Structure formats: structure tokens, C-alpha cells
């Protein structure tokens, strides 16, 4: 039986179209998923939309559309972008889906209740609508939320609370022992420091009359389940947790990797594992926490005019080129920066003058000098490449491809097989054959990053012909 591999992206707020950071999370997940499929793992890739939010209601009313139609439109845009990026997801979950998602969220709630971890308390606090969360005095600047530019509402209400504090030490132990692995180390240390200070119990519901969307609390329609026991549960509700048919859940949970941005680390490394422990469910094995993408050293924003729209890049360079760039030049562990110019330079260097040019040179020599295609056994993949994937260092894996391309370029330069073949036919052909075999390895290593380019290179090798046009035309 093949090994299962379950990988997830965050679910995205459909209050605007996806930006570069979302495209990055999803591409990263897809690259890892495709790699695992090459190992013959039984892979399940989940992505989706976090729809039970006032942000959507507000965005819809600003656009003058009723919420469901608004959601459907944005979700369609997400899916179109994912298609252009060659995202091979197995399921796109929508948390407004009453049949797929809601039973899971309610079943999770019930488990927390059964564990004695849900309590009704009265609560007073400052609520920021933009955050969709209570915030503290300390976070305000002159009484205004600095992130959303609005004053929070003073709210006093009855809520259900989850006894998060009870799980501080258990979660900490799981992380310290590596049972819940947090990558990179800096994020692991950050969450351990937070757990060291202790977690406070957290509000898990909101009064139904104050929120227009959301999942009713089982047995108490006056309350709706707040984001934690709603959005986070998507990772298991998608697999059928809480539904009659939970085959996928039994097969795939616990997740092998949750991919998240650093802004949602706390939810995934503190609240989510505590909920799972309370519900007596296994924890995910790894969290890969990536940084933010900036442009020109600044956060992308409409006001600064430095927003790079993934769909604009795709229409200019193609989805595969964008995937390779994200893998090769955006760190999976730290913040990264790029501009339209640095993207173009990287495209020309890595693809037009790199992989594309190398493939044309080698395949031209093969077509000119080899009588028939060479048959290639599934050849060796460098161990460093495998290691990079094992440690989720996707950037390193992409670098190894570029390094291999550079090495082969140098070898052509040094051996000049196109000249050698005229003076010593046997030797020349042997060098060309070696180059073709190594190009095949490049093609194989490219598979998770650029599935179509990978396929094209392997097909050209099998047909012993050079490409009729450059694989990656140079951009001026
Ligand atoms: Zn705010």
C-alpha cells in the first residue's frame, strides 16, 4: 500500500482577489504535492475559501451584490488563477458549504463540549470589525486600530469560551518533542516563547444577532461558532470529519504539512493543536510557516502603487515561469522582495538563457549527431534535491536545478562536443549522449515546479529532436 500524504494551504478570505502571498502559499503546496506524487505517495491537496466572515458581507455590500453571488464570483476568480498556476488540488473547500463543512465544525464543537472545555462566560472587550477579533488597548494608537484605521467597538456580551489555557503545557511539549514540527526554527522559537508566557482562554462564539453569517452553535441557536472552530476545522471537515462518510478522514488525517503564512502562526501552532488535543484527535505533523512578499522593500499596497498582481505576471510570462520564480527566488522561511524588473531579470537568467537555452543546445546536437533517440532508464536524482524536499526547503531544490543547468553549460563550453564530433565521432557522440542523459535528469527534477516544461523536455529527448521554437523566449 502506498503511503498517504496530506497537504493543505490556508483558506483564503474572498473579500478581494488573491495576491502574490496567496499565490505563493498555494504554489508551494502544489510543488510539494507533485513531488510526493512522483514518489508514488497517495497525495491529497486541499485549498479553499474562508467565507463565514463579516469581511465578505461588507465587501459584497460595497460592490452592491448579494453575498452569495459575490462569493461565487470571487471563488471563481480563485479557481481561474489556480488553474493558470497549474495547481493540482484535490478539493476546494468553502466554509459556507452547509453539507461539506458545517457538520465537521459542529462535531468538533461537540467534542470540545464533551471534554468539558467549552464554558459560557460574560465578556467585555474592544472589538475591531476589520480584525474580526477582540483587540487590546495596547494595540491601539490614539484609540484607533493602526491596521484598519478605525476605532474598535466596546462590546459586552455572553460568549462561549474554549479553555485554551489548560492546553498550554501539552501543546508546548508536543512542539518541544518535535511531534508537531514547526519549520523554520525561528517560528518554532517564536511560538515556544509565546507558550512559555501562557495562553489565555479564548472566545469561541458570538451572539447570533450580532453576526450575519456563520455556523450555529449546536443546541444554542442564539450563538454562532467563531472563526477558530469554523475556519481551522476545514482541514478535517474537508475529509468528512463529522459526516457519515469519513473515509478520507480515516485515510489522510493527520496532515503531513499545513502550509501557512507567518501571520497565522499562532492560530495554527497554539489554538488548532489545543482543539485537536481536546477533541482527542492526532495533531498535524508539520507546519511550514513562510514569510511575506514585499516589493521594492515595502509591503505591497494600492497607495504605494507597488502591487504585483499574480495574474498580470502569468499573462506576460506564463504560469510555469511564475511557479519557478516563486520557488527559486522567494524564501519558504523568510520575507522576500521582488519587483517587476527583478522578475524579468530572473526569468531571462533562469529560463530563457538557462533551462530553455540549455535544452535547445543539447537537443540540437543530439538531433544533428545521434542516429536514434537514446533510451534512458529512470536515472538518479541528486540526493541534495531529495534532501531539500524532505526538509521542505523548496527554494534549495529549485537552486539545485539551476546549479545543474550551469554545470551542463560549463561542460558544453569545456568539451565543445559539436566540434569534437567532427574530429572524433565516437568521443563526441559519447559526450552528447551524457549531456542528453543529464538533461533528462533536469527534466525530471523540473516536474514538480514546471510540469509541462518537464514533459516537453522529456518528449523531445524521446523523439530525438530539438524544440521548434525557444521554450522560453527572451524578454527585452
Ligand atoms: Zn483592526
Ligand 1 centre to CA of 132 (Å) is 7
- From first to last of the 476 residues of the chain, give the pLDDT tens digit: 689 999 999 999 888 888 999 999 999 999 999 999 999 999 999 999 999 988 888 888 988 999 899 999 999 999 999 999 999 999 999 999 999 999 999 999 999 999 999 999 998 889 888 887 788 888 899 999 998 899 999 988 899 999 999 999 999 999 999 999 999 999 999 999 999 999 999 999 999 998 889 999 999 999 999 999 999 999 999 999 999 999 999 999 999 999 999 999 999 999 999 999 999 999 999 999 999 999 999 888 888 888 899 999 999 999 999 999 999 999 999 999 999 999 999 999 999 999 999 999 999 999 999 999 998 877 689 999 999 999 999 999 999 999 999 999 999 999 999 999 999 999 999 999 999 999 999 999 999 999 999 999 999 999 999 999 999 999 99
Ligand 1 centroid to Cα of residue 447, in Å, is: 42
Compute, in angstroms, the gap from residue 145 CA to the centroid of ligand 1: 5
CA distance 451 to 180: 31
CB 223 within 8 A of CB 272: no
Give the list of residues 6+ apart from residue 143 with CB closer than 8 angstroms, or none.
Answer: 151
The answer to whether the beta carbons of residues 408 and 360 sit under 8 Å apart is: no
* Nearest C-alpha neighbor of 356 from the set 399, 319, 401, 389: 401
Q: In angstroms, what is the span from residue 387 Cα to ligand 1's centroid?
A: 41
Measure 53 CA to ligand 1 centroid, in angstroms. Answer: 14
Tell me how far the alpha carbon of residue 253 lies from the centroid of ligand 1, in angstroms.
Answer: 34
Task: Answer whether 152's CB lies under 8 Å from 159's CB.
Answer: no
The predicted pLDDT at position 284 comes to 98
Ligand 1 centroid vs 355 CA: distance in angstroms?
46
Whole-number Å distance, alpha carbon 127 to ligand 1 midpoint, is 8
Residue 174 in contact with residue 249, Cβ under 8 Å?
no
Cell representation of residue 209: 444577532
Distance 168 CA to ligand 1 centre (A): 26
Residues whose beta carbons lie less than 5 angstroms from ion ligand 1: 128, 130-131, 145, 147-148
Reported pTM: 0.95
Rounded to the nearest angstrom, the distance between the alpha carbon of 148 and the centre of ligand 1 is: 5
Rounded distance from Cα 222 to ligand 1 centre (Å): 26
* Distance from residue 130's CA to the centre of ligand 1 (Å): 5
Q: Which domains does the chain have, with CATH numbers?
A: 339-463 (1.10.730.10)
CA of 391 to the centre of ligand 1 (A): 35
Question: How many Å lie between the centroid of ligand 1 and the Cα of residue 264?
Answer: 15
- CA triplet 154, 165, 129: central angle to 5 degrees? 25
Measured in angstroms, how far is the CA atom of residue 36 from the centroid of ligand 1?
39
Amino acid at each position: 500500500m502506498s503511503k498517504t500524504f496530506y497537504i493543505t494551504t490556508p483558506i483564503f478570505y474572498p473579500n478581494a482577489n488573491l495576491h502574490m502571498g496567496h499565490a505563493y502559499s498555494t504554489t508551494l503546496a502544489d510543488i510539494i504535492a507533485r513531488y510526493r506524487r512522483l514518489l508514488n505517495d497517495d497525495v491529497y491537496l486541499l485549498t479553499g475559501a474562508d467565507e463565514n466572515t463579516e469581511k465578505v458581507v461588507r465587501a459584497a455590500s460595497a460592490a452592491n451584490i448579494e453575498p452569495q453571488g459575490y462569493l461565487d464570483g470571487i471563488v471563481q476568480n480563485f479557481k481561474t488563477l489556480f488553474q493558470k498556476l497549474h495547481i493540482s488540488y484535490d478539493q476546494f473547500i468553502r466554509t459556507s458549504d452547509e453539507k461539506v463543512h458545517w457538520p465537521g465544525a459542529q462535531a468538533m464543537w461537540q467534542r470540545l463540549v464533551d471534554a468539558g472545555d467549552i464554558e459560557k462566560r460574560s465578556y467585555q472587550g474592544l472589538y475591531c470589525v476589520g480584525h474580526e477579533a477582540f483587540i487590546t488597548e495596547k494595540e491601539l494608537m490614539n484609540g484607533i486600530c493602526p491596521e484598519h484605521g478605525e476605532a474598535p467597538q466596546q462590546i459586552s456580551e455572553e460568549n462561549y469560551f474554549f479553555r485554551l489555557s489548560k492546553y498550554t503545557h501539552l501543546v508546548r511539549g508536543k512542539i518541544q518533542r518535535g511531534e508537531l514540527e514547526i519549520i523554520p526554527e525561528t517560528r518554532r522559537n517564536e511560538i515556544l516563547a509565546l507558550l512559555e508566557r501562557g495562553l489565555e482562554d479564548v472566545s469561541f462564539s458570538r451572539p447570533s444577532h450580532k453576526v450575519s453569517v456563520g455556523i450555529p452553535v449546536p443546541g444554542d441557536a442564539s450563538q454562532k461558532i467563531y472563526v477558530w472552530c469554523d475556519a481551522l476545522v476545514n482541514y478535517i471537515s474537508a475529509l468528512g470529519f463529522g459526516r457519515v462518510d469519513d473515509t478520507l478522514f480515516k485515510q489522510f488525517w493527520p496532515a503531513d504539512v499545513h502550509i501557512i503564512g507567518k501571520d497565522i502562526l499562532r492560530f495554527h501552532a497554539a489554538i488548532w493543536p489545543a482543539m485537536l488535543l481536546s477533541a482527542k484527535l492526532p495533531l498535524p505533523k508539520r507546519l511550514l510557516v513562510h514569510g511575506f512578499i514585499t516589493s521594492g522593500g515595502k509591503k505591497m499596497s494600492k497607495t504605494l502603487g507597488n502591487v504585483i498582481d499574480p495574474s498580470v505576471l502569468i499573462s506576460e510570462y506564463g504560469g510555469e515561469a511564475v511557479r519557478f520564480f516563486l520557488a527559486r527566488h522567494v524564501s519558504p522561511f523568510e520575507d522576500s522582495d521582488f519587483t517587476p524588473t527583478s522578475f524579468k531579470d530572473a526569468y531571462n537568467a533562469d529560463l530563457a538563457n538557462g533551462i530553455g537555452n540549455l535544452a535547445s543546445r543539447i537537443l540540437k546536437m543530439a538531433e544533428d549527431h545521434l542516429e536514434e533517440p537514446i533510451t534512458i532508464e529512470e536515472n538518479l536524482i541528486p540526493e541534495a534535491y531529495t534532501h531539500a524536499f524532505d526538509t521542505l526547503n523548496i527554494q534549495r531544490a529549485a537552486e539545485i536545478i539551476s546549479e545543474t543547468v550551469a554545470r551542463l553549460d560549463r561542460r558544453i563550453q569545456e568539451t565543445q562536443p559539436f566540434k569534437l564530433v567532427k574530429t572524433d565521432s565516437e568521443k563526441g557522440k559519447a559526450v552528447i549522449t551524457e549531456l542528453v542523459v543529464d538533461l533528462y535528469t533536469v527534466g525530471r527534477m523540473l516536474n514538480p515546479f514546471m510540469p509541462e516544461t518537464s514533459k516537453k523536455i522529456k518528449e523531445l529527448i524521446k523523439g530525438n529532436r530539438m524544440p521548434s521554437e525557444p521554450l522560453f523566449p527572451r524578454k527585452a
